[in-house]
Amino acid sequence: ESYRLGTDYQYGQAFIYAAREVLGVALAEQIQRDLLVLQDAGLRRISDEKKQALMRTYDGFDHPAAQEILRWLSGDYQVTDEMVATQ
């Protein structure tokens, strides 16, 4: 799609379309609302209160993507200095 549209490609619209196709409308809209926190803040910079609120929100979705977000919020994907040192 991006190659076909060239300079007219709109990544935000492409994200919304793809997210709705893969996640369903409700989860896609929730992720879109939380995207800046999930993508830009980084897990260590999200307050405990915000993490708990996000966990309550995503716990309400029965979808593998929501489960993955919950695991990420729980720290399951956190890369430690030790992990990096063993690479």
Please give the pLDDT value at position 3: 62
pLDDT exceeds cutoff 80 at 86: no
Question: 4 versus 15: which is more confidently predicted?
Answer: 15
The rounded distance, in Å, linking the Cα atoms of 52 and 30 is: 15
The rounded distance, in Å, linking the Cα atoms of 48 and 44 is: 9
Residue 24 lies in a domain: yes
Phi-psi category of 9—alpha, beta or left, where left has phi over 0 and alpha has psi -120 to 50?
beta
Q: What is the mean pLDDT of residues 6-29?
A: 88
Residue 87 lies in a domain: no
Please give the pLDDT value at position 31: 97
What is the dihedral sign for C-alpha 70, 14, 35, 29?
negative
The rounded distance, in Å, linking the Cα atoms of 58 and 63 is: 9
pLDDT exceeds cutoff 80 at 13: yes
Domains of the chain: total: 1
**Structural domain boundaries, residue 37:** 2-82
Residue 38 lies in a domain: yes
Strands (E), 1-87: none
